[in-house]
């Protein structure tokens, strides 16, 4: 059941196995808090799952921030929504007694996760970014030392050009993150290879 008690409508599944960091699940455009639960369960069995619903509606489809066109972001809104999401993470950590989560974001959810890393580096312990792009034209240079980031791009992604994924990887690496960037022989949609790689990356120390 979805909860509406904190600042975002969300689902929270408590951990059933000790020792795994919680996952913050961030859906793509048109998804909701239910979408990535099966992926989270398969990627990190037993981990706590925290899954908010994006608060922007685009033609009725939930997203995490506004865009002006595909791949062209309303950066003022993105910054505000990243602040709101960081606030929700803090509320949820307090309410559910959680350490900092690792984000697992897809598409629009991966883009807000990348923005969180840049604007609120303390909010996340790390991030798996599936089909993410550079979220801000003039990003700050946070200290991401010690943060692990998995970036999975699609070689035939019509939304995220290869150069953009490479720029995001370089940006995060330049800020000190431990970045593993892979390009899969696929498009913008998720594949079985994404699950296999995320599961292996989450299980690695």
Size of the site for ligand MLT (CB under 6 A): 9
Q: Which is nearer to ligand MLT, 71 or 99 (CB)?
A: 71
Catalytic site residue from 157, 180, 181, 191: 157
Q: Contacting ligand MLT (CB under 6 A), which of 108, 115, 117, 151? A: 108
Q: Please, what is the minimum distance in Å from the beta carbon of residue 129 to ligand MLT?
A: 11
- Window of 5-13, 65-73, 81-89, 162-170 that interacts with ligand MLT by CB under 6 A: 65-73
Stretch binding ligand MLT (CB under 6 A), from 44-52, 63-71, 83-91, 122-130 = 63-71
**Is there a catalytic annotation at residue 27?**
no
H helices then E strands: how many in the chain?
5, 11
Which helix or strand (DSSP H or E) is residue 111 part of?
helix 108-119
Question: Sheet containing 148-154: which strands, arranged edge to edge?
Answer: 10-13, 49-52, 23-26, 102-106, 126-130, 148-154, 178-184
We find the least distance from the C-beta atom of residue 118 to ligand MLT, in angstroms, to be 15
Task: Identify which of residues 47 and 157 has a Cβ nearer to ligand MLT in the complex.
Answer: 157
Q: Does the active-site annotation cover 120?
A: no
| Residue 111 is a binding residue for ligand MLT (CB under 6 A) | yes
Which one of the listed residues 10, 107, 153, 194 is annotated catalytic? 107
Query: According to the binding rule CB under 6 A, does residue 186 interact with ligand MLT?
Result: no
Is there binding between residue 153 and ligand MLT (CB under 6 A)?
Answer: no
Structure tokens at 4: 């509406």
What are the residues whose beta carbons fall under 8 Å from the beta carbon of 34, sequence distance 6 or more?
2, 11, 51
Residue 52 sits at the vertex; the CA angle it makes with 48 and 54, to the nearest 5 degrees, is 155
CA gap 144, 50 in Å, rounded: 22
Q: Does 148 bind ligand MLT (CB under 6 A)?
A: no
Write out 33-95 in H/E/C secondary structure: CCCCHHHHHHHCCCCCEEEECCCEEECCEEECCCEEECCEECHHHHHHHHHHHHHHHHHHHHH
Shortest distance, CB of residue 67 to ligand MLT, whole angstroms? 4
Mark whether 84 is an active-site residue.
no
* Binding flag, residue 28, ligand MLT (CB under 6 A): yes
Q: Which residues have a catalytic role annotated? A: 107, 157, 188
């Amino acid at each position: 059941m979805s909860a509406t008690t904190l600042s975002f409508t969300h689902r929270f599944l408590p951990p059933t196995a000790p020792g795994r960091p919680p996952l913050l699940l961030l859906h793509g455009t048109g998804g909701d808090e239910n979408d990535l639960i099966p992926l989270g369960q398969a990627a990190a069995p037993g981990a706590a799952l925290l899954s908010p619903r994006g608060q922007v509606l685009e033609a009725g489809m939930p997203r995490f921030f506004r865009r002006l066109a595909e791949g062209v972001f309303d950066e003022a809104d993105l910054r505000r929504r990243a602040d709101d999401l960081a606030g929700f993470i803090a509320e949820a950590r307090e309410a559910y007694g959680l350490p900092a989560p690792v984000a697992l974001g897809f598409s629009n959810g991966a883009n807000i996760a990348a923005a969180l890393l840049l604007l609120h580096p303390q909010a996340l312990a790390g991030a798996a970014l599936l089909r993410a792009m550079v979220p801000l034209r003039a990003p700050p240079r946070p200290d991401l030392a010690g943060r692990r980031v998995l970036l999975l791009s699609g070689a035939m992604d019509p939304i995220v050009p290869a150069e953009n994924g490479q720029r995001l990887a370089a940006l995060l690496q330049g800020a000190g993150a431990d970045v593993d960037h892979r390009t899969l022989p696929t498009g913008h949609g998720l594949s079985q290879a994404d699950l296999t790689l995320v599961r292996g990356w989450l299980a690695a120390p």
